[in-house]
Amino acid sequence: MDQPVFDHRELTLDDVFEFACYPGISCFNLCCYDVNLVLSPYDFLRLRRALKIPSREFIEKFGELHLGDVTQLPVVSVRMNVHDFSCPFLQKEGCSVYEDRPSSCRTYPLARFAGRDEEGRPFEIYRIIRETHCKGHFEKRPISVKEWIKEQGLEPYYAFNDLFGEIVFARNRLDRPLSADELDRIYIVCYELERFRPLVESGELKDLFSAEEIESALNDEEELLKLGLNWLKKTIFREVIQEEGGK
């Protein structure tokens, strides 16, 4: 697989680029080989639920669990097939998990850079990725970044990724190593909600969240993930987030 090249241009939501991808295009599926497919907690939730298997089974069958090089936070990536480096979800007809494909697959051929700058101000920019195998760039279909986000169903992914991004930002500001217990808490929220749920059910978090928040978390997995990420912010990263003026 050739190395991706990023356009120098930084796009914002109203900027327009030209691209189309569809079954029948000559490069169909070529982008699903040898991919460094890092799963955000929300990517993971969507895929695991689509496949109707428990988190641990998902990781055993399809994932690789490691500590992020920069963040030193637990992260799960998709393990490519050893024989041909294809994504395990790729079939001849295309992506077998298309409705629940990860955010990076949806965002491609864009890459999103969002977070906070050194002064703590939020930013969100996009850059076009150019790879020689991808012929979608030659399709004369203008589309704005904002329209692409809507078309690809990215809104909930970005909302969760931004929430997780606050944790990454706080982690980078935390001037100490994380303990084994803290790493485990981060791991269960991000990649094993089945182990976080009993903690919520036990009432242990009732001083940090309202009864309504706890009830909706117990009735809805997205809300459970949201509660979990906020729990990490309010406990492990509380000091850093308070210093930054956050909640």
Q: Which residues here bind ligand SF4, judged by CB under 6 A?
A: 21, 25, 27-28, 30-32, 35, 37, 87, 89-90, 95, 97, 101-102, 105, 108, 133-136
Tokens for 143, please give them: 């589309």
- Terminal Cα-to-Cα distance of the chain (whole angstroms): 43
Asked if residue 109 has a cis previous peptide bond (ω within 30° of 0), the answer is yes
Kindly state the DSSP code that residue 138 receives in the 8-state scheme.
Answer: G
Task: Using alpha carbons, select from 76, 48, 72, 55 the residue that is nearest to residue 64.
Answer: 76
Smaller CB separation from ligand SF4, 9 or 141: 141
Tokens for 241, please give them: 């987030």
Residue 96 beta carbon to ligand SF4: minimum distance, rounded to whole angstroms: 7
Residue 237 beta carbon to ligand SF4: minimum distance, rounded to whole angstroms: 30
Residue 97 beta carbon to ligand SF4: minimum distance, rounded to whole angstroms: 6
Smaller CB separation from ligand SF4, 17 or 108: 108
Smaller CB separation from ligand SF4, 97 or 199: 97
Residue 223 beta carbon to ligand SF4: minimum distance, rounded to whole angstroms: 25
Smaller CB separation from ligand SF4, 6 or 123: 6
Taking only Cα atoms into account, the Rg of the chain, rounded to an integer number of angstroms, comes to 19
Q: Spell out the residues 6+ positions from residue 15 whose beta carbon is closer than 8 angstroms to its own.
A: 9, 126, 144, 145
Residue 4 beta carbon to ligand SF4: minimum distance, rounded to whole angstroms: 11
Smaller CB separation from ligand SF4, 27 or 65: 27
d(CA 72, CA 178): 9
